[in-house]
Structure 1
Amino acid sequence: MNIAILDDYHGVAADYADWSKLGPQAKIKVFREYLPEAERAAALQSFDVIVIMRERTPFPAALINALPNLRLLVTTGLRNNAVDLAACKARGITVSGAPGAADAVTATSELAWTLILGLFKNLCTEDVNMRRGGWQTGMPLPLAGKRLGLLGLGKLGQAVARYGKAFEMDVVAWSPNLTPERAQEGGATYVSKEDLFATSDVVSIHLILSDRTRNVVDAGAFQAMKPTAFLVNTSRAGLVDQDALMAALRHKRIAAAGLDVYSVEPLPADDPIRQLDNVVLTPHLGYVSEDNFRAYYVNVVDAIEAWAAGKPIREL
């Protein structure tokens, strides 16, 4: 049984689970570096089992059909929009999920709040300027009394709403299925999508990407936002029209953005967004924590073990 573990950027997969449970027949190769698309099929030809970290490496039909030995694909998490499940089913390939730890929601909501604080307090710019010998080069903004607009009020949105309330912000929310009653239960006031963009001092995105929500933040949304407002995205890049985002940042239609997710990941070194001075950028850290990764890899091993015994678990 040849097993490939992809995208182990931190080099922790081998230590975070007991892979010896799979027996001496399991031959494991860890790929720490991201495999470029042009190299994937050749690099993965010999593997029966491939373990992927969330949506870091897409598995479309073309790649799946180019891997003749693939029999089991295990994804961390219990949902992966980057895997063509229909193509896997057509090939008879089992796809199993591996859940993370209970702190995954906490980790992501904390990162969203870190980005919000960084934007309001001009933290990254002040840090750079201090290292260059500068002193008080910007004017930090208070959060109390400002409006926090949440696109999505599920578990993540509700966690961010609680932080907003703790900082004495006015918290409002909208999503396609949200009602005033559910918003109130989640710690926010329901407003229309139009009002949310027009009146919020910071908009934080917490929606699931689907055909219905793709590009929900479009050019019209940026046009409606205050020129002093911030956008924070720790969900999925596809929720935001990336061309409209770049235009809004370049032309200062909004003050700044805090981003943890990108259309292409890892973000290319020459991506133009790296050159903007009104962004705070993090490398998709929302779900990254030791507890979460330990849970992922322990559950990955369990999924492979169950599949090898002819009793696959958590099939997607």
Structure 2
Amino acid sequence: MAFTIFVTAPQLAPAGLRILEAAGCRTILMRDGSSTAEVEQTLASEPVDAVISRTVELSAAAIHSCPTLKVISKHGVGVPNIDVAAATARSIPVYVTAGANAQSVAELTLGLMLAAARKIALLDGELRAGRWTRAQDGVQLAGRRLGLVGFGQIGQRVAKVALALGMEVEAFDPGLRGPSPVAGVVLHDALEALLPRTDVLSLHIPLNPHTRNLIDAARLALLPRGAILINTARGEVIDEPALIAALRSGALFAAGLDTMAVEPLPADSPLAALPNVVLTPHVGGSTAAALEGMATGAAHNVLGFLTGQAPDPSACVNPQVFSSNDKSPS
């Protein structure tokens, strides 16, 4: 049987498209990758079996409008753009491509850490403006303590490089029990125990009701004065006004942010005016290798489910759908 796969973007990495083509699928790409109206119109008018979801919203109305829809896979790991509750109500599993972009995100994390510590963006701008400004207050990372909030595949990769740089590394992840998966990393049972010991704080957590504004004014105040904060997770896990206040006051030395509470970043955002902030436009997973990994992972997820070949159950964010009906991931 030929399946119809709808990709909510104008393109998918060729490796992913080849997998779908080899399976005889009909693939629909969007004309406008930001149009929720186009998503809803396509799902209401086409016999779509599966959606590979990029960044545009996949609403409850869109999900309910397509009676043939059987499975959704996110091209990535964050699902705030997908109405998972609506999918669950329809007994539609929602998969993610966990780990596909982990290396690329880890590398950007390290890049932001180094750029923030040594004021690379600021000094580059000074030199291009004709000023030979030699900052004397850069931070050497060797000997400093890196605190990781979230210690999955990304955090573990960051930890290994940080240890090689000569940093001490500690982490908090409520989902981890037992010994650390990375030798030399100390695990904490509570976030409040980690923060006072952290010179560089790096966030690697999903956005959910428990993590929204997790790093607020009170927790920022637990960091040693002059700490650095790095966020390549989701902008909403930080209380942004509290972060801006800490950067302005000098409580934080610097921040490196790939994600912000509002994206795209508004032109009048105070973050853009702060000289001690390094900003990138949510590009942690935007390398050819990461895009290919996410595309192939998403293609395997939807085809695996549609053909009964069981995608990795741990990649499903709403596994309860398998106990509430006759469907099975196997």
TM bin, normalised by shorter chain, reads 0.7 to 0.9
Structure 2 partner of 1:6: 8
Give, as a single letter, the amino acid of the residue that structure 1 aligns with 2:118. K
Whether the 8 Å contact between 1:232 and 1:259 is mirrored in structure 2 is yes
Give, as a single letter, the amino acid of the residue that structure 2 aligns with 1:34. S
Between the aligned partners of 1:113 and 1:62, the Cα distance in structure 2 is: 40
How far is 1:82 from its partner? 3.8
Structure 2 partner of 1:283: 281
- Give the alignment's Cα RMSD to 1 decimal: 3.3
Give, as a single letter, the amino acid of the residue that structure 2 aligns with 1:5. V
Structure 1 partner of 2:240: 242
Whether the 8 Å contact between 2:150 and 2:172 is mirrored in structure 1 is yes
Whether the 8 Å contact between 2:117 and 2:254 is mirrored in structure 1 is no
How far is 1:125 from its partner? 0.6
From 177, 185, 191, the counterpart of 1:193: 191
Between the aligned partners of 1:163 and 1:58, the Cα distance in structure 2 is: 35
1:274-313 CA-partner distances (Å, limit 9, x unpaired): 333221112222233323322333344445555666x475
Whether the 8 Å contact between 1:230 and 1:257 is mirrored in structure 2 is yes
Structure 1 partner of 2:57: 58
Whether the 8 Å contact between 1:2 and 1:46 is mirrored in structure 2 is no
The answer for unaligned runs of 5 or more in structure 1 is none
How far is 1:263 from its partner? 2.8
How far is 1:259 from its partner? 1.0
Structure 1 partner of 2:166: 168
1:20 aligns with 2:21: yes
2:278 match: secondary structure: strand
- Give the TM-score taking structure 2 as reference length: 0.77
With over 3 angstroms needed to count, the CA separation of the structure-2 counterparts of 1:146 and 1:79, relative to structure 1, is closer
How far is 1:95 from its partner? 3.7
2:28 match: secondary structure: strand
1:152 aligns with 2:150: yes
Structure 1 partner of 2:140: 142
- Give the TM-score taking structure 1 as reference length: 0.80
How far is 1:4 from its partner? 3.5
Between the aligned partners of 2:267 and 2:67, the Cα distance in structure 1 is: 34
1:44-87 CA-partner distances (Å, limit 9, x unpaired): 5434243212xx2333434433x345614332246735423331
Give, as a single letter, the amino acid of the residue that structure 1 aligns with 2:74. T
How far is 1:148 from its partner? 1.4
With over 3 angstroms needed to count, the CA separation of the structure-2 counterparts of 1:158 and 1:62, relative to structure 1, is same
Between the aligned partners of 2:75 and 2:171, the Cα distance in structure 1 is: 29
Give, as a single letter, the amino acid of the residue that structure 2 aligns with 1:28. I
Structure 1 partner of 2:324: none
Give, as a single letter, the amino acid of the residue that structure 2 aligns with 1:51. I
Whether the 8 Å contact between 1:118 and 1:124 is mirrored in structure 2 is yes
Q: Figure out how many residues of one structure are paired with residues of the other and give that number.
A: 305
Give the percent of matched residue pairs that are identical in Structure 1 and Structure 2: 30
Give, as a single letter, the amino acid of the residue that structure 1 aligns with 2:135. G
Whether the 8 Å contact between 1:158 and 1:186 is mirrored in structure 2 is no
